[in-house]
Amino acid sequence: MHVQVGIIGAGPAGLMLARLLHLRGISSIVLESRNRAYVETRLRAGLLEQGSVDLINETGMGERMQREWMVHNGTEYVAGGERYRVDMWDLINRRVYIYGQQEVVKDMIAVNLAAGVPIIFEAEAREIGGLDGDKPFIRYRANGVEETIVCDFIGGCDGFHGICREAIPKAIRKDYDRVYPFGWLGILADAAPTSHELIYCQNEERGFALFTMRSPKVSRCYLQVPPDESEENWSDDRIWDELGKRLGKHEGLTLSTGKITQKSVTPMRSFVSEPMRHGRLFIAGDSAHIVPPTGAKGMNLAISDVYVLAKAMTAHYERGETELFDHYTETCLRRVWGAQHFSWWITSMMHNLPDENPFDRKRQLAELRAVLGSRAGQTLLAENYAGLPIEM
């Protein structure tokens, strides 16, 4: 089987890439190791930047999203017992949108399949090769049968644990990694959101908490916990009690509680792998980088990566140009490292670190007040949180 672009991974990166290529008349096939039901219900991020929303709409995949999204003009922060609001719309004329990643993926799958883009589920990519030649290949197994796809290019969108990044020789690959000394206990609850906008809390004594949502009736909340913590140590009552203590008392703000339907502990890390290209292989999204969820950048970076990649492939097929391929890594990493810095910055400002002393805690609170208490600081926060424009 031959196709112009073989794509490994049916997450936001792989599915957006397939759609962008299809709209330019470039053929692709998407291989996904999991079944369709798993991919469409896999719980992930839920915040979309303005640029991501614009691209989803422009590619014709946003119809249901526009009916169901939750639009946020700002975000709230609680620090030192004080409550602040960062009005993104007022500061930078941009906003963010809440729409679960699993819903984004569901829409992308439906639109791609309706357009005739092949997506093969339960197809495990086992080997990729020929990356230095003009006909790379992907060997995969589906329905108990080994198959091979020959293509012009490979889009490696198979996540942090996939095979694509590992196909880049270690002699030329450099990985940058930071593991944080805490994790997030995350819950889903049948409860109306505590606020109509996200609330980031920094409690000097107890640690970080985040109050967000997946719908007007479903809350998504997080607590900073030790990285090796087990969710089994946290009863529903203990979770709600701790969330209430970290939020504190504020006029007009009451913690909304309800039945907890899911809970899990997620470790926190920052990771970047360079380069993002080797020969005819291009990696994107979680295959190339991971950000702590504090900054809500993971899905948005994945979409940005493949926009850059699709633009390069379009230039190649329509005009025979290769210059954008040569600049793919540089172009993507400019945005990636900016997002890494922002995610690290907001994570370090909002979390308690195990080795901090009283001086560090007071300095941290002073930094938060300096940022949240000035229009200049709020503007910097808003620009990064709502997302800088996607590289064109």
DSSP secondary structure letter of residue 251? T
For 96-107, write each residue's pLDDT tens digit.
Answer: 999 999 999 999
Tell me if 65 sits within 8 A of 29, measured CB to CB: no
Domain boundaries for CATH 3.50.50.60 within the chain: 2-72+96-177+269-349
Alpha-carbon distance of 315 to 322, in angstroms, equals 7
User: Which residue pairs from 165-173 have beta carbons closer than 8 angstroms and sit at least 24 positions apart in sequence?
Assistant: 165/273, 165/283, 165/287, 165/288, 167/128, 167/129, 167/131, 167/278, 167/281, 168/273, 168/275, 168/278, 168/281, 168/283, 169/278, 172/275, 172/278, 173/273, 173/274, 173/275
pLDDT of residue 247: 96
Residue 291 has pLDDT above 70, yes or no: yes
Element (H, E) at 290: strand 289-290
What is the model's pTM?
0.95
Q: Which residue has the tokens 């979680």?
A: 286
When the pLDDT of each residue in the chain is averaged and rounded to a whole number, the result is 95
Alpha-carbon distance of 259 to 219, in angstroms, equals 10
Tell me if 56 sits within 8 A of 13, measured CB to CB: no
Residue 335 has pLDDT above 70, yes or no: yes
Residues 6+ apart with CB under 8 A from 312: 324, 325, 327, 328
pLDDT of residue 42: 83
Alpha-carbon distance of 124 to 8, in angstroms, equals 9
Backbone angles phi, psi at 10, to 5 degrees: -105, 50
Helices (runs of H) and strands (runs of E) counted in the chain: 12, 19
Burial 175-193 (b: 16+ CB within 10 A, else e): eeeeebebbbbbbbbebbb
Tell which CATH architecture fits domain 180-267+355-386: 2-Layer Sandwich (3.30)
Indicate the pLDDT class of residue 46, thresholds 50, 70 and 90. confident
Residue 332 has pLDDT above 50, yes or no: yes
**The two three-digit tokens of residue 7, written as one number:** 């794509």
Element (H, E) at 203: strand 199-203
pLDDT of residue 51: 93
- Among residues 125, 92, 155, the alpha carbon closest in space to that of 388 is found at 92
Domain boundaries for CATH 3.30.9.10 within the chain: 180-267+355-386
For 124-183, write each residue's pLDDT tens digit.
Answer: 999 999 999 999 999 999 999 999 999 999 999 999 999 999 999 999 999 999 999 999
Q: Which residues are catalytic?
A: 72, 200, 293, 297, 385
Region 298-311: mean pLDDT is 97
For 55-80, write each residue's pLDDT tens digit.
Answer: 999 999 999 999 999 999 999 999 99
Task: State in words which class domain 2-72+96-177+269-349 has.
Answer: alpha beta
Alpha-carbon distance of 285 to 304, in angstroms, equals 9
Alpha helices in the chain (DSSP H): 12-23, 36-41, 50-58, 63-68, 88-92, 101-114, 236-247, 298-319, 323-326, 328-350, 358-372, 375-386
Region 108-128: mean pLDDT is 98
- Cβ burial of 244 (10 Å; 0-12, 13-18, 19+) is middle
pLDDT of residue 388: 77
pLDDT of residue 392: 46
Residues 6+ apart with CB under 8 A from 54: 390
For 355-364, write each residue's pLDDT tens digit.
Answer: 889 999 999 9
Query: Between vectors from CA 265 to CA 160 and to CA 363, what angle results, nearest 5°?
Result: 95
Residue 201 has pLDDT above 80, yes or no: yes
pLDDT of residue 391: 60
Residue 1 has pLDDT above 90, yes or no: no
